[in-house]
């Protein structure tokens, strides 16, 4: 249940995210018999049990430390074994809002991939919503299912190994929102349409890295009667914060003077062949300025987010559908 509620203290069996640095985190399941070793030393699980989450934990041999963090879906994305490309937080956030996800929402996701976005979705729709997620790769589906079970998310997530292009989702009149992270979303849109709760408005998102995919997806959404087709791209740009000294032109002039003085003294010393007394160096620290800069290299593209609205079926359309069904 780590992902659905917080605890204060670490207990046996808990999942802890060991934070060594921004790039180096690792998931640990607390087992008093185990120790975790990294280049900063030895960390005994038994030392961690009973500590509060957020504790700065020194290694047993005192060579370094790490932080014991409480799992969140965001931290999980850092430590999940990357079985596939994962979604980034800018996209996750925007999609969650645009699809109007909240406690109680019923949502369809395809494919599951590494299950990292599923964790995020489950967090948002808990305690009374449901996520139906589909993955055609059998091993990936198994691995994700295992993660959901370990993390106490099984009641919220139904995962199925299924080729949705060929077989569809097999769900009708059930979900509020659909998220398609598929190479050919247009082949799943008809089935996705049937999955929506038919008598209310719904939202769909197609997640595609290429513009050609977006164009085909939009044409297909249009064909299937989806409206308000919108496409976005969002990113998070990091700003590195630094402290820089503020030098002035006066400093530049005095820097040259100091250099010239040194040279002159050296020449004098060489000429007289004796060492002149060292003049005391007066160095004044310049005032500091807090600044930020963008990194030299940054993520420039993740995927295009195509959104559309599913329109509720009108009463007269329902009559028509019913009549057709009767004829069948």
Partner 1 sequence: MDNQYVFIVLPSSNIKVVKLQKDTTVSLGKFGTFHTNDIIGKPFGHSYEIYDRDKIKVIRNVAFYEVDDSGANNQETIDDPSKQKLSYQDIEQLKKDGMEGQDIIKKVIESHSSFDKKTEYSKAKYIKRKESKFSRVFTPVRPTLYSVWEYFFAKNPSKIRDMRIDTLSQMLTISNARAYAKLLVVDDTQGLLITGVMERLGGSYGIVLGIHDGEYHNYDIVRYMNFSKKVNDSLMVLSWQQIFKEESPFNYQDESKLSQKDLKFYLRKKANYEKVQEARKILWKGGFDGLLVASQYQPESILDTLVPYLAGSRPIIIYHINREVLVNTCVHMRISGKFLNPQLTESWLREYQVLPGRTHPSMSTSGGGGYLLQATYTSTIT
Where in 234-253 is the site for partner 1 (CB under 8 A)? 234-241, 243
- What residues between 51 and 70 interact with partner 1 by CB under 8 A? 52-56, 58, 65, 67-70
Q: Does 123 participate in binding partner 1 (rule CB under 8 A)? A: yes
Residues 3-22 that bind partner 1 (CB under 8 A): 4-6, 8, 19, 22
Contacts with partner 1 by CB under 8 A: the residue count is 76
Give least dist CB 174 to partner 1, A. Answer: 16
- Residue 291 engages partner 1 in binding (rule: CB under 8 A): yes
Secondary structure (3-state) at 72: coil
Residue with tokens 């993955």: 135
From CA 200, how far away is CA 25, in angstroms rounded?
43
CA angle centred on 226, ends 119 and 113, rounded to 5°: 25
167 is in an annotated binding site: no
Alpha helices in 15-137 (DSSP H): 45-48, 73-79, 89-98, 116-125
3-state secondary structure (DSSP) of residue 15: strand
Decide whether 140 or 176 has the Cβ nearer to partner 1: 176
Smallest distance, Å, CB 124 to partner 1? Answer: 6
Q: How far is the CB of 207 from partner 1 (least distance, A)?
A: 14
Q: Is 173 annotated as a binding residue?
A: no
Q: Kindly state the smallest distance separating residue 145's Cβ from partner 1, in Å.
A: 22
Cβ–Cβ < 8 Å for 292, 219:
no
Q: How far apart are the C-alpha atoms of 192 and 111, rounded to whole Å? A: 13
Name residues contacting partner 1, limited to 70-99 (CB under 8 A): 70, 72-74, 89-90, 92-94, 96-98
CA gap 158, 147 in Å, rounded: 12
Among 142, 199, 263, 266, binds partner 1 (CB under 8 A): 199
- Between residues 168 and 202, which has the closer beta carbon with respect to partner 1? 202
Q: Is 229 in the site for partner 1 (CB under 8 A)?
A: yes
Contact 196, 202 (CB under 8 A): yes
Tell me how far apart the alpha carbons of residues 184 and 140 are, in angstroms, rounded to a whole number: 19
HSE, side-chain direction, 13 A CA sphere, residue 202 = 27
Query: Is the CB of residue 54 less than 8 Å from the CB of residue 67?
Result: yes
Stretch that binds partner 1, among 100-108, 157-165, 249-257, 264-272 (CB under 8 A): 100-108
Q: Is 47 in the site for partner 1 (CB under 8 A)?
A: no
By beta-carbon proximity to partner 1, the closer residue of 17 and 182 is 17
Based on CB atoms, which residue is closest to partner 1, 8 or 273? Answer: 8
If the CB atoms of residues 94 and 165 are measured against partner 1, the closer one turns out to be 94
Q: Choose which of 146, 232, 262, 268 interacts with partner 1 (CB under 8 A).
A: 232
**Least distance CB 125 / partner 1 (angstroms):** 9
Query: CA-CA distance, 69 to 25, in Å (whole number)?
Result: 10
The sheet with strand 202-208 has its strands ordered as 157-161, 130-135, 106-110, 177-180, 202-208, 304-310
Q: Name which of 141 and 204 has its Cβ closer to partner 1.
A: 204
Helix (H) or strand (E) holding 325: helix 315-327
CB of 306 to partner 1, least distance (A): 7
Asked whether position 218 contacts partner 1 by CB under 8 A, the answer is yes
Binding positions for partner 1, 132-191, rule CB under 8 A: none
Q: How far is CA 312 from CA 98, 226, 227, 296, in A?
A: 18, 10, 11, 48
User: Which residues are annotated as part of the binding site?
Assistant: 135, 181
């Amino acid at each position: 249940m780590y992902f659905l509620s917080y605890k204060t203290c670490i207990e046996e069996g808990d999942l802890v995210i060991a934070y060594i640095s921004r790039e180096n985190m690792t998931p640990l399941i607390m087992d008093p018999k185990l120790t975790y070793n990294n280049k900063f030393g030895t960390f005994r699980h038994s030392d961690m049990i009973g500590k509060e989450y957020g504790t700065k934990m020194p290694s047993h041999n005192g060579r370094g430390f790490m932080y014991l963090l409480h799992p969140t879906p965001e931290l999980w994305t850092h430590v999940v074994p990357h079985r596939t490309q994962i979604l980034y937080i800018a996209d996750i956030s925007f999609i969650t809002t645009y699809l109007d996800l909240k406690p109680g929402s019923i949502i369809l996701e395809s494919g599951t991939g590494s299950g990292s976005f599923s964790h995020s979705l489950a967090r948002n729709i808990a305690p009374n919503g449901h996520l139906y997620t589909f993955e055609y790769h059998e091993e990936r589906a198994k691995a994700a299912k295992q993660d959901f079970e370990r993390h106490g998310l099984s009641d919220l997530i139904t995962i199925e190994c299924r080729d949705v292009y060929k077989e569809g989702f097999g769900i009708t009149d059930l979900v509020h929102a659909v998220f398609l992270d598929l190479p050919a979303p247009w082949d799943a849109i008809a089935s996705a349409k049937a999955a929506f709760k038919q008598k209310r408005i719904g939202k769909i998102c197609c997640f595609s890295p290429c513009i050609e995919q977006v164009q085909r997806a939009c044409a297909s959404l249009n064909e299937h009667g989806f409206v308000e087709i919108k496409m976005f791209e969002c990113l998070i740009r990091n700003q590195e914060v630094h402290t820089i000294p503020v030098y002035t032109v006066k400093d530049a002039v005095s820097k040259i003077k100091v250099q010239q003085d040194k040279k002159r003294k050296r020449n004098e010393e060489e000429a007289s062949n004796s060492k002149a007394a060292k003049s005391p160096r007066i160095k004044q620290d310049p005032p500091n300025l807090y600044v930020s800069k963008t990194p030299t290299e940054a993520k420039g593209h993740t995927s295009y987010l195509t959104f559309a609205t599913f329109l509720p079926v009108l009463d007269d359309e329902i009559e028509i559908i019913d009549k057709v069904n009767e004829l069948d």
